[in-house]
Amino acid sequence: MNLNNENGETYDRQSEVKAFDESKTGVKGLVDAGITKVPRIFIHPKTTQNYSSISSVNKPSIPIIDLQGIHGNVVEAVGEASATWGFFQVVNHGIPGNVLEEIMSGVRGFFEQDTEVKKEWYSRDQSKRVTYNTNFDLYTSPAANWRDSLFCIMAHNPLHAQQLPPVCSDILIKYSKEMEKLGGVLFELLSEALGLHPNHLKDIECNKGIALLGHYYPPCPEPDLTLGTSKHADNDFLTILLQDHHIGGLQVLHHNQWVDVPPSPGALVVNIGDLLQLISNGRFKSSEHRVLASKNGPRVSVACFFNTYSVPSSRVYGPIKELLSEENPPKYREITLKEYETHFLEKGLDGTSALLRFSL
């Protein structure tokens, strides 16, 4: 298939994408080979690059919530942040600092291990529980991202250490258990913030599935031409993200402006996913976000997604009945997670909301 890139130049994009995929060495492989220019399959049109960026005066920033909650009402703070930003950072979350450090170095170690060993994990087979690849939507997205990823479905069926890459298996299991605990706390707070029984979201199994996604963003020679992660909203109920302490680059779209989510050592970023926006009937916002490419790197992040990927469930999710009224009729139709996921994967990170398909 021939496509024009933004210079109007015609080239066989599909075969360049395929050659890149078949190398199995990802973006890191390009950087290791010493490239000094961004290959054209990664070049994004200028329009998706530069939204209005905000001035430094009166810069808004996402709320920081102390989960120990001695100051003020935690439930209220979580509810307010989820309804306005869809994003907040949490501190005093109970996860020891050494566990955060170990998961970062474990994920980094995966990408920086011997290439031949790493290649054995390379796959786009969505039925596998553990895969490493670059750009899950490589063949469908308009432009590729400057990022490689490791995807592991950790729960609800527990994964054995032998099924995981040896360089990071122990810490993936340990971190996943911490995420399960923190996820439980957050889903209770979110339930209460919706005016529901604290167990409501857990009872409907929002916390049941856990996938860990370790991202590796190599340094980029021409960061203005591409993106680390294109604009998207998350395909889950909730995401807990640990980002590198130094590099930054994560931005959330708030009132049509890109707002930086500054790295804050020891803090975790929490954001509402599409599925929680749907079941809260739009009260909680699944905000779009992206990651800029940078000359500095590698930047490593670990995202924990609460969603039952690959576990067939017949459960149907729609706006929670208790939240609906004559003044607040359902905004979305009922869906199965499978139906949503199939649509999300087909669509890829094309800059549009996967929820549009299910809006009433």
Q: What are phi and psi of 257, to 5 degrees?
A: -130, 145
Token representation of residue 81? 């942040």
Q: Which residue matches tokens 């810490």? A: 171
Q: What residue 241 binds from ligand OGA, Ni ion, none (CB within 5 to 8 A, per partner kind)?
A: ligand OGA
Q: What residue 65 binds from Ni ion, ligand OGA, none (CB within 5 to 8 A, per partner kind)?
A: none
> If 0-12 CB within 10 Å is exposed, 13-18 middle and 19+ buried, where does residue 67 land?
middle
Is residue 320 a contact partner of residue 301, using CB atoms and an 8 Å limit?
A: no
Distances (CA, A) of 117 to 25, 130, 214: 11, 14, 17
Among 38, 189, 213, 335, binds ligand OGA (CB under 6 A): 213
Beta bridge partners of 271: 87, 239
Is residue 273 a contact partner of residue 240, using CB atoms and an 8 Å limit?
A: no
String of DSSP letters for 111-167: HHS-HHHHHTTB---TT-SEEEEE-TTTTTSSS--S-EEEEEEEETTTPPGGGS-TT
Among 155, 186, 194, 241, binds ligand OGA (CB under 6 A): 241
Which positions from 143 through 202 interact with ligand OGA, judged by CB under 6 A?
Answer: none
243 near ligand OGA (CB under 6 A): yes
288 near Ni ion (CB under 5 A): no
Distances (CA, A) of 84 to 87, 189, 239: 8, 16, 16
Which positions from 214 through 233 interact with ligand OGA, judged by CB under 6 A?
Answer: 215, 229
CB of 227 to ligand OGA, least distance (A): 11
178 near Ni ion (CB under 5 A): no
Answer whether the bond into residue 156 is a cis peptide, omega within 30°: yes
Q: Which is nearer to ligand OGA, 215 or 283 (CB)?
A: 215
CB of 291 to ligand OGA, least distance (A): 5
Q: Residues 213-242: x/- map of binding to Ni ion (CB under 5 A)?
A: ---------------------x--------
Listed in sequence order, the residues at least 6 apart from 155 whose beta carbon sits closer than 8 Å to its beta carbon are 176, 180, 208, 209, 210
The four Cα atoms 260, 262, 267, 271 give a dihedral, to 10 degrees, of 10
Q: Which residue matches tokens 């501190």? A: 91
Q: Which is nearer to ligand OGA, 129 or 331 (CB)?
A: 129
CB of 324 to ligand OGA, least distance (A): 29
Q: Residues 262-301: x/- map of binding to ligand OGA (CB under 6 A)?
A: ---------------------------x-x---------x
How many residues touch ligand OGA under the rule CB under 6 A: the total is 11
Q: What residue 41 binds from ligand OGA, Ni ion, none (CB within 5 to 8 A, per partner kind)?
A: none
Q: Residues 246-265: x/- map of binding to ligand OGA (CB under 6 A)?
A: ----x---------------
Among 192, 234, 274, 288, binds ligand OGA (CB under 6 A): 234
CB of 309 to ligand OGA, least distance (A): 13
Q: Three-state SS for 48? A: helix
Cα separation, 190 vs 179, in Å, equals 16
Q: Which is nearer to ligand OGA, 82 or 229 (CB)?
A: 229
Point out which residues bind Ni ion (CB under 5 A).
Answer: 234
Please give the residue ranges that form the binding site for ligand OGA (CB under 6 A): 213, 215, 229, 234, 241, 243, 250, 289, 291, 301, 303
